[in-house]
Every structure is written in structure tokens, then in C-alpha cells.
Amino acid sequence: MGKIVIHAGTPKAGSSAIQHWLAGNAKRLRREHDITVAIAVAADPIRVTAFNGRGSINSHAVGLAWMKGGQTSVQSLERFFSDLDALSEEHPFLLLTSETLDEALWRSDEGFLSGLNDLAAEHSIVLSYYVRPQHTAMEAAWRQWGFRYATPPSTYLRRRARRLDYATTYNQLRALAPRVGFEIRPFRADLLDAGNVVVDFARHNLEVEVVPSEAPPINRGLPLEVVNLLRSAPRGRFWSSEHDNSELRRIKDLIGDLEIPESAEVRRSRRILQAFCHQTFEAGNRELIRELGWATTEFVPAPDEPVEGTIEDLDELWSARASAPEQEILFHAIEQAVNARPGNPKQGV
């Protein structure tokens, strides 16, 4: 019997930092701790092999295969579980990380979870994932993807809320895959070991100690004020879709670390969002706190002052305040500054 840890990364909850650290330390984990990092790669169907240190460490292929549905999905998942089973015969401690598997979890997909539960009859399976306080999770998602959609903030956030009912997800996972161990950890600085998600992940899932300085923050979002301005950029100006990040990465490199004073509009919007999430999720959050023993009494605290307004008010509060000519000047300045940075393929165009 082997041990298999599957890190199913939830969006904007430290997955990039964990994967960056794993990619840089896969050889050391194997050499010093006999932990083998595995990777699911795209094939027909997918296959699972030991990570060789090249390419992406994110096993997004398995999540994408699940999302396709139909017979292709069934065959890919069967191959995924059979490959993990076979690889465990050679490597007694396997670790695999996949951000896209979060979709199968919050949707409580019976096909995936029953396959995982069957595998757990032969191996010790731990499903590890981090959950972020819902109000910061929603804002982070808006700052990464939502502002590039055509939908208003209130519509986007209400849709996003469906995947953030952590207590319901946890209860459904336990019911559908009772043999699997679920390592659900709170992605909040004061609740993470050493305030660092990589330290926390390595300690709780791998029993490995990591120096916090080895695990810098990865993939920080742009300031809310900036994305609300970029929201009004013409389609195709900076990206072709909400997941086209080539230009966004360069913008982050340029202005991602700007310290922008919190405006009255942004401050009010955050209080409204916090109040909405406290009312919507906190009862379930407190079930998790009691069940899992997190060192807190609340995950999304109530705002510390009265809040007027509803989440629909964010449609106005998260809009650009500059006039159309002012916006165009700013967009042009961003383009010029980004294109002038060394190494940019558009430099000199």
C-alpha cells in the first residue's frame, strides 16, 4: 500500500506558490524524503508519470479530461486512477498537483470521487486543498478573471459564490468518498503555519520542514483600482479572453506592486462584499471550524461598522472613474510602458 497526496488547488489560494516550490524541489523531495512528484500529461487517454523536472508541474490534464465529459472523460479518469495505482508500486509516496480538479470537487462529481474512493481501498489517499475566506476569494477572482468578462460584478460574484460553500463541499466529499482523507486548510495568513502556504502544505501533507524564505508569494493580483480601470478597455486591447494572461503578466510586472490608497468607493465595496459573504457563508464556515479545529472563531467576520447597500451596488463602485479620453491616455501609456520593457516581444514594434 502506497501513499498518494493529491493537491487539488482552489483558485487564488496559494496553488502557484505550492507548484513553484514543488517544481524547484522535486529532486530534493525524492532524494531526501522518498517523495515522488507525479504529473498527469495530455494523451489519448491521459497518462501519469514521474515528473522529470521539465515543463509545467500542474496536472491540469486530468481536470480538463473530466470537464470534457462523455466516454473520453470516463476513459481518461480510468487511466488516471490505474496509472496512479501502478506508479505507487514503484514509488511508495506520490504527490500530484492539479488546479483544474477543484471543479470536480465543488461540483461533487460522483464519477471522479467514486474512482478516488476505489483507489483508496488499496492506498492511503489524501486530498489536500486550501480554502480562502469567501470575501477575499471573490475579490481575488474578480481581480484575476472577472473584470475581463462582459458581465457586471454582481452577476459574476453571485455565480462565483456557488463554488465557495466549503462546508457543503466537505460534507458531500466525505459522503461520496469516505475512504479518502481530506486535508482542508484555511488560506488565511494568521491560520497558516508560519503564515506561509508552502510551509503549511509541506508540513501538513508531506511532513517536511520548509524555510519560509524559500517560498515567496507567487501570482499576486493587480490592485482593485487598476482592474476596475482596465475593465473598460476595448476587447482585444490587452487580452483576447479572460484566460489570456500573456499581456496581463507584463502589466503585473510593471504596476502590480503599486501601493494605491484605498478610495472611499473601494472601501465601501469591500464592506458590502464582506457583509454579503458573512451572511451567506459564515454559518457553514463555523461548522468547518468546529469540525477541523481551525484556530479561530470566524472565517469571514462581520464588518466592524454598519454597511449600507447590496452586492448590486458593486456594479457602480467597481467601474472606472476616469472619463473616456482620460482612460484612452492611460491605456496608451500602459501599452507604451509595457512594450518598452526589455524582453518584451513587442519591443520596437
| Domains located in the chain, CATH noted | 3-131+188-214 (3.40.50)
- What separation in angstroms does the CA of 149 have from each of 99, 157, 159, 191, 271? 21, 11, 12, 32, 23
Place of cell 482596465: 230
- What is the residue-level pLDDT of the chain in tens, covering all 349 positions? 899 999 998 889 999 999 999 999 999 999 999 999 999 998 777 899 999 988 899 998 888 887 777 766 888 889 999 999 999 999 999 999 998 899 999 999 998 999 999 999 999 999 999 999 999 999 999 999 999 988 999 999 999 999 999 999 999 999 999 999 999 999 999 999 999 999 999 999 999 999 877 655 666 778 898 899 898 888 888 888 877 888 888 888 877 777 788 899 999 999 999 999 999 999 999 999 999 999 999 999 999 989 999 999 999 999 988 888 888 988 888 888 888 766 555 544 3
- DSSP output for 133-178: -HHHHHHHHHHHTGGGSSS-HHHHHHHHHTT--HHHHHHHHHHH-T
Element (H, E) at 97: strand 93-98
Three-state secondary-structure class, residue 200: helix
**Phi/psi class of residue 70: alpha, beta or left (left: φ > 0; alpha: ψ in -120 to 50)?**
left
Q: Cα angle vertex 311, ends 309, 314, to 5°?
A: 90
